[in-house]
Structure 1
Amino acid sequence: MEIPKGTVSKITRKLESLNLISKEQLPDNKKEILFSITPLGYELFEVHKELHEHIEKNVIHFLNQYHSNELDFLTRVLEDLLKQSLFQLEE
């Protein structure tokens, strides 16, 4: 995922301090650490998952007010916009 080790360490320390994960040193391997989700971490995970489901439902409800040809056009515009740099210097 190309995330620096220091960033991962900082995030895991924060999650551990919030009691969302726990860590355990493997007895036969001092280099690797086993992370586990705590009951509180699992509860937060479930709330987060429900939030995503709610947002997805609302997005679908919102998009249903448009016809498929309108959504096709919007998709094409957004794809073209992603391909085009809007910060090009004038030549």
Structure 2
Amino acid sequence: MFEKLQQAFWKALTPDLVAETLVAEPKADGMLAPAVLSALGGAANLKTQQRVALTRTRVQLQDPALVDEAALKTAGITAVMVLAGGVVHLITGL
């Protein structure tokens, strides 16, 4: 029980450093709106998705070339940060 409490504590303090649980097939009704999901290349293109902060969601993609940044901006995403390894940060706030 102490290990679970300790892991939850460190996950709360450092969400990027603690391993995330992999989502086999993300659902459209999860964190991402259907328009955002289609702009990322569809549900089949997502490896993982994780809420990093109130205004940021990190997704890892199978093929980052399928990302349509114009469609993401139309869907309400303020900014898109494309990182190495197919990781994309979606910024939704100011």
Classify the TM-score, shorter chain. Answer: under 0.3
Structure in which a larger fraction of residues adopt strand:
2
State the TM-score, normalized to the length of structure 2. 0.26
TM-score (norm 1): 0.27
Identify the structure with the greater helix proportion: 1
Q: Over alpha carbons, which structure has the higher Rg?
A: 1
